[in-house]
């Protein structure tokens, strides 16, 4: 009798085990979790949403949990929305709730251009040479991939076996009167960050004024640089000095968007030739200043053949040569807003629209009815419209 009971117990146990396995074999398990991006670049205060895919789609539990390795740099919401908090790098991880073993990660690099030094980011792998022209070996340093700062003592620095995305940050402290430098690159790279790191290597984020000629010729004829898709090039100075941006980006054919120019106080020649012959430039910066200086915008956009719309020019009183050749041979230009009412002489606008588009719209101050026409006035053939001033 006992033997029969034992056999019955074993049979019941085996049947239960088989039934349990059979039932659980119907549960669709999660095989993987993936993200639509494995790395993102984002500016402080902005947000991007990551999208997670759980496979297979009919798994028993497709819910996930999001975490950040450093919430002081970047936070992540339950829907995968990543918000940049402060400069640095953090890792966002998404984990399947099915068994907590299937994961995917995304590296988040957060940059605040104001607090980032002037930086070159390589677009090509291989050797890279940084050439410094007109350099006399004074207080110039670089940091490769956020490493220790190294002093630059020669006119060229070779970086070997570089990878796409490698960065070279530049620092300089100007003591007294020192000559400006010109930067050349051996291969294509992005440029971003605060240009003031070439004036004050430690306190560049708070600098608002520049010495005379400080950035003269800085990237002149550097056809290798272009705008970064995520990070801005920052020129935060509000008080300018003579020739401070003279020829700064002249001939930078890869530049498509000009940096913002928040200056409220100008000086002679401060913007002269700044973007001349930037043939790829399609977006000009706002120019809100109304108190002009002699030659302040001379040839600023000369030869910018892709530029279609001029920045609004709100100054009502012009000064000697202030707009001289400003849009000279901007062959695509077809829109100008100019609110000038006091033009002391034709030299204020000498040849300023020579070679512009044959048709376009000129928006003028309704209180100015005696504008001249032609290369030093309103372009011939353009439609004239009164621009509301209130």
pLDDT tens by residue, 166-200? 999 999 988 777 788 999 999 999 999 999 999 99
CB-CB neighbours of 200 under 10 Å: 15
Token pair recorded at residue 147: 């490493």
Identify the band that residue 111 occupies on the pLDDT scale cut at 50, 70 and 90.
confident
Question: For residues 142 and 130, is the Cβ–Cβ distance under 8 A?
Answer: yes
User: What pTM was estimated for this model as a whole?
Assistant: 0.81
Q: What is the pLDDT of residue 25?
A: 54
Token pair recorded at residue 301: 């956009």
| Exposure string for 151-188, b = 16+ CB within 10 A, e = fewer | ebeeeebebeebeeebbbbbbbbbeeebebbbbbbbee
Burial group, residue 46, by CB count within 10 angstroms (0-12, 13-18, 19+): exposed
Average pLDDT score over residue span 234-251: 97
Q: Alpha-carbon distance 321 to 343, whole Å?
A: 10
Average pLDDT score over residue span 219-248: 96
Q: Please state whether beta strands 233-234 and 335-338 pair in parallel, antiparallel, or not at all (unpaired).
A: unpaired
Alpha-carbon distance values, 7 to 10, 14, 16, 79, 196 (Å): 5, 11, 14, 55, 87
CA 31 to chain centre: 39
Secondary structure class of 206 (helix, strand, coil): helix
Q: What is the pLDDT of residue 177?
A: 73
Q: Alpha-carbon distance 187 to 158, whole Å?
A: 12
Average pLDDT, the chain: 91
Does the structure show a pLDDT above 60 at 3? no
Question: For residues 264 and 224, is the Cβ–Cβ distance under 8 A?
Answer: no
Q: Alpha-carbon distance 180 to 134, whole Å?
A: 7
Contact residues for 106 (Cβ-Cβ < 8 A; gap 6+): 35, 37, 38, 39, 40, 50, 82, 91, 92
Residue with tokens 């104001």: 114
Identify the band that residue 136 occupies on the pLDDT scale cut at 50, 70 and 90.
low
Average pLDDT score over residue span 241-248: 97
Alpha-carbon distance values, 59 to 54, 187, 384 (Å): 8, 48, 66
Query: Within the chain, where are the H helices?
Result: 2-24
CB-CB neighbours of 147 under 10 Å: 10
Q: Alpha-carbon distance 94 to 100, whole Å?
A: 10
Give the residues across from 92 on adjacent strands: 68, 106
Does residue 141 have a cis peptide bond before it, meaning omega lies within 30 degrees of 0? no
Average pLDDT score over residue span 339-353: 94
- pLDDT tens-digit readout, 277-308: 999 999 999 999 999 999 999 999 999 999 99
The secondary structure of residue 381, as a DSSP letter, is T
Give the residues across from 41 on adjacent strands: 109
- pLDDT tens-digit readout, 67-96: 999 999 999 999 999 999 988 889 999 999
Every domain of the chain and the residues it spans: 32-111
Identify the band that residue 137 occupies on the pLDDT scale cut at 50, 70 and 90.
low
Average pLDDT score over residue span 318-335: 97
Token pair recorded at residue 235: 């020129």
Q: Alpha-carbon distance 289 to 330, whole Å?
A: 22
Percent of the chain surpassing pLDDT 70: 93
Average pLDDT score over residue span 365-383: 93
Provide CATH code, domain 32-111: 2.60.40.1080
Contact residues for 238 (Cβ-Cβ < 8 A; gap 6+): 208, 209, 262, 263, 264, 265
Q: Alpha-carbon distance 341 to 148, whole Å?
A: 55
Q: What is the pLDDT of residue 14?
A: 40
CA geometry: angle 37, 41, 43, nearest 5 deg: 140
- pLDDT tens-digit readout, 23-46: 455 789 999 999 999 999 888 888
Alpha-carbon distance values, 99 to 64, 91, 92, 132, 155 (Å): 10, 21, 19, 56, 58
Question: For residues 196 and 158, is the Cβ–Cβ distance under 8 A?
Answer: no
Average pLDDT score over residue span 122-135: 92
């Amino acid at each position: 009798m006992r033997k029969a009971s034992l056999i019955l117990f074993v049979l019941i146990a085996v049947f239960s085990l088989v039934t349990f396995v059979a039932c659980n074999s119907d549960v669709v398990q999660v095989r993987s979790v993936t993200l639509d991006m494995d790395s993102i670049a984002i500016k402080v205060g902005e947000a991007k949403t990551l999208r997670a895919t759980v496979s297979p789609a009919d798994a028993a539990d497709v819910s996930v949990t999001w975490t950040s390795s450093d919430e002081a740099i970047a936070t992540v919401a339950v829907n995968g929305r990543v918000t940049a908090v402060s400069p640095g790098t953090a890792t966002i991880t998404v984990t399947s709730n099915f068994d907590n073993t299937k994961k995917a990660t995304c590296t988040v690099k957060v940059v605040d251009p104001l607090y980032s030094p002037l930086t070159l980011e390589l677009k090509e792998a291989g050797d890279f040479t940084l050439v410094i022209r007109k350099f006399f070996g004074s207080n110039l340093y670089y940091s490769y991939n956020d490493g220790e700062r190294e002093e630059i003592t020669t006119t060229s620095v070779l970086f070997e076996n570089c990878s796409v995305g490698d960065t070279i940050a530049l620092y300089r402290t100007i003591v007294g009167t020192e000559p400006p430098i010109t930067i050349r690159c051996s291969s294509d790279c992005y440029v971003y960050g605060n240009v003031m790191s070439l004036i004050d290597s430690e306190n560049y984020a708070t600098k608002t004024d520049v010495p005379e000629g400080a950035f003269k010729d800085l990237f002149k004829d550097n056809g290798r640089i272009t705008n970064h898709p995520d990070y801005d090039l920052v020129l935060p100075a509000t008080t300018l000095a003579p020739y401070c941006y003279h020829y700064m980006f002249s001939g930078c054919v890869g530049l498509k968007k000009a940096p913002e120019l928040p200056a409220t106080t100008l000086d002679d020649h401060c913007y002269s030739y700044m973007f001349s012959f930037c043939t790829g430039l399609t977006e000009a910066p706002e120019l809100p200043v109304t108190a002009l200086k002699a030659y302040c915008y001379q040839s600023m956009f000369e030869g910018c053949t892709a530029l279609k719309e001029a920045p609004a020019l709100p100054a009502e009183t012009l000064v000697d040569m202030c707009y001289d050749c400003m849009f000279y041979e901007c062959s695509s230009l077809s829109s100008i807003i100019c609110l000038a009412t006091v033009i002391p002489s034709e030299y204020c606008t000498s040849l300023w629209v020579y070679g512009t588009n044959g048709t376009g719209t000129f928006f003028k101050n309704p209180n100015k009815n005696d504008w001249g026409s032609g290369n030093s006035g309103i372009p011939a053939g353009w439609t004239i419209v009164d621009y509301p001033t209130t």
